[in-house]
Amino acid sequence: MRGGHGRAERPTQRGGGGGTDSMVPARKCFFLLLALMTFAASPSPVGKFPGRPVVWCRTVDMLTLTCWWQPVKGDDPSTNYTLFYTTQSGSTLANESAECPDYVTAGPNSCFFDQEHTSMWVMHCVRVVASSPTANTSFEK
């Protein structure tokens, strides 16, 4: 307590970067997060944006690649998912993205890349676009 006013000092954490109070940014983030959660929970007059689907990819033979996505529960059942991809070799990222070559082979909510659409030691960057009758949202993996 300082000066007998009956108020405890707030603990601070000081780093070597100019002596700023590191608790302040955390508090701002909490309030920002709370505001975003409140906004996301309130009904939208235009329509609800689709949620972020869980996306994962796997290769078993280093020649083909399969990506799947799990739609978010509660999303509009008419939401359509489209997968786009780009390739990256070294530090060069392809300028153009392409749509999934095969939505059928690996089953529902999936994209299969055969040997024509993959290369060993080349990174594939995928983006899933969720489109509903009221809104579109894009998610990168």
Close Cβ partners of 9 (under 8 Å, ≥ 6 residues apart)? 1, 2
pLDDT of residue 137: 62
Quote the percentage of the chain above a pLDDT of 70.
60
Give residue 61's pLDDT band: very low, low, confident or very high (50, 70, 90). very high
pLDDT of residue 38: 28
Closest to 94 in 3D by CA, of 74, 68, 67, 123: 123
- Using DSSP's 3-state secondary structure scheme, residue 57 falls into strand
pLDDT at 5 over 70: no
Each residue of 118-130: pLDDT tens digit? 988 888 899 998 8
Chain position carrying tokens 């995928």:
126
The structure tokens listed for 35 are: 């505001």
**H or E, element range at 68:** strand 65-70
Confidence (pTM): 0.59
Each residue of 16-36: pLDDT tens digit? 444 444 333 333 333 232 222
Class of domain 54-140 (CATH, top level): mainly beta
Closest to 68 in 3D by CA, of 98, 36, 41, 105: 105
Angle at 108 between CA 98 and CA 51, to 5 degrees: 75
Torsion angle, alpha carbons of 68, 72, 78, 79, to 10: -60
Chain position carrying tokens 């990819």:
57
Query: What are the boundaries of each domain within the chain?
Result: 1-42, 54-140
**H or E, element range at 130:** strand 123-131
